[in-house]
Structure 1
Amino acid sequence: MLQSTVGAQSRAQLVLVNEGDSASAASAFLSSVGVHQPSLLDSDLAVGRAYGAIGLPITVFVRSDGSIDARQIGQLDERVLVAELSKLGGQ
């Protein structure tokens, strides 16, 4: 869902961040669920701290200026994803 919905938004970018797993374990998991995109390895949890990740999974919507627009903690549904991307598209 993330790849197809974000892919439809020409200005949006999807960045996957892996916390707590090895790069190979994260890659294997993503492949097993049909996601074929690289992920960044956040081995020291710096990215998570910077974006206020207090639980996993978390989706952070970042404005083009780098500031945080919204956070979705827990499973993300398509309705929320589309609404947040639309909001960001109008900035």
Structure 2
Amino acid sequence: MDLYLTGKTIVVTASSKGLGRAVAEQLAAEGAHLLLCSRNEDSVKETAEDIRRKFKVKVEAMAVDLSEPADIDRLVTYADDHFGRVDALVCNSG
């Protein structure tokens, strides 16, 4: 099914493993570019590299704690600096 996501930029929170990772992989399979985030930097960077290699889309990763307003600001700034826009947000964190 084509969800018309090719070239769209999507932020997926809590995306280093489990449901967040599965969602990110499906979005990448549809051609979306991704900004992944998780509290665990090593894990989210590994996930980003795996998805980038498998689906050939732009994937960035960063460690953030979404309970911290300053980290949310960093995430938004990073998305703007690296993608120029965000088309969708998948808020997978609690």
Question: TM-score per shorter chain, which class?
Answer: 0.3 to 0.5
Q: TM-score if structure 1 supplies the norm length? A: 0.32
Q: Which protein shows a greater Rg?
A: 1
Greater length-normalized contact order (CA 8 Å, ≥ 6 residues apart): 2
- With the length of structure 2 as denominator, give the TM-score of the two structures: 0.31
Give 1 or 2: higher helix fraction: 2
